[in-house]
Amino acid sequence: MKPVILVTRKLPDAVEQRLLRDYDARLNPGDDLYSADELVKRAEGADAILPCHTEKFTAEVIARLPKSVRAIANFSVGYDHVDTKAAKEHGLIVTNTPEVLSDATAELTMMLMLGAARRASEGERLVRTREWKDWSPSFMVGTQVTGKRLGIIGFGRVGQVVAKRARGFDMEIHYNDLQRLPSEIEAGAIYHKTPEELLPHCDFLALHCVAIPETFRLLNAARIALLPDGAIVVNASRGAVIDDDALIAALKSGKLTAAGLDVYNNEPTNIHPGYRELPNVFLMPHIGSATKETRIAMGFRALDNLDAIFAGKEPLDRVA
């Protein structure tokens, strides 16, 4: 008998075809967002769950999962939506999908930098609303990206690709991570031991750290104060790493020129209302990995992990 897999969201056709070929897959063709109760109910008799970050596996939800469930094979690199400690205690294997989305997320990060620096939201709105009436040397003047200093907090897979792409804009790369990386990975990037040491060197700051208790509200008022006046902040990691009130205050006061955000605290429906009102933020709806190629690769990576688990092998991307 094929293992039963509960798939919580609509996945690319190629991924669903492979799921149907190799497993007894419970798909979600309507792409409905399951409540915790529905999730637990639908998991009845399933051997594993293939969820996205949209389903929260709190300790309480994990405790209610049927005993048949052996694994949570995430369709995401981030796994802050899963209480991994509780999962371990319940003997669940948890996997994620690293590497395959680094290029797409780095592309989106470059878009956030360019969009924030060149005032993309304002410009687009002017054209669409027919409010664009004139051209002058002082019209819609933004910040040049080329040749500036880019600071990256979290120099993992995505951060490293961002550095590569940013070098195409002749940017000088600075980074902070738990430890200094080998020089072939640094490729000239300048290491700073702490965010405090890094921040004064950032005309642009890109956050690529994971959301863990240690990075909660990492970018707060005290750290924003260390950035050069007029800096630009972008975030394509998780909303939790930013103190929204502090960022909004800095964007209002002019301490920061602009921000580009793809992820938010309390997304999607309850993000800080201050962001919607600011002209100098470029806002995207958590689409860092949203390319056709990457979404298929993420699904295949999640399936590779499931294949290993049901073959009795260690999955490549085990995080718990």
> Mind telling me the catalytic residues?
238, 267, 286
Distance of CA 96 to the CA centre of its chain: 13
289 contributes a contact to ligand DGY by CB under 6 A: yes
Site map (CB under 6 A) of ligand DGY, residues 55-84, x = contact? ---------------------xxx------
Residue 250 or residue 263: which is nearer to ligand DGY going by CB? 263
DSSP string, 234-273: EE-S-GGGB-HHHHHHHHHHTSEEEEEES--TTTTTS--H
| Residue 160 or 257 having the CB closest to ligand DGY | 160
Nearest-approach distance from CB 212 to ligand DGY, in angstroms: 13
* Dihedral, CA of residue 21, residue 103, residue 278 and residue 223, to nearest 10: 120
> Helix H segments across the chain?
13-22, 36-42, 59-64, 84-89, 102-117, 120-128, 157-167, 183-186, 195-198, 221-224, 244-253, 273-277, 292-310
Min. distance of Cβ 77 from ligand DGY in angstroms?
4
* SS3 (DSSP) at 207: strand
In contact, 90 and 62? CB cutoff 8 Å:
yes
Asked whether position 260 contacts ligand DGY by CB under 6 A, the answer is no
- Complex with ligand DGY: residue 206 or 231, whichever CB lies closer: 206
Q: Is 207 in the site for ligand DGY (CB under 6 A)?
A: no
Among 4, 5, 15, 101, contact with ligand DGY (rule: CB under 6 A)? 101
Q: Least Å distance between CB 20 and ligand DGY? A: 23
Footprint of ligand DGY on this chain (CB under 6 A)? Answer: 52-53, 76-78, 101, 288-289
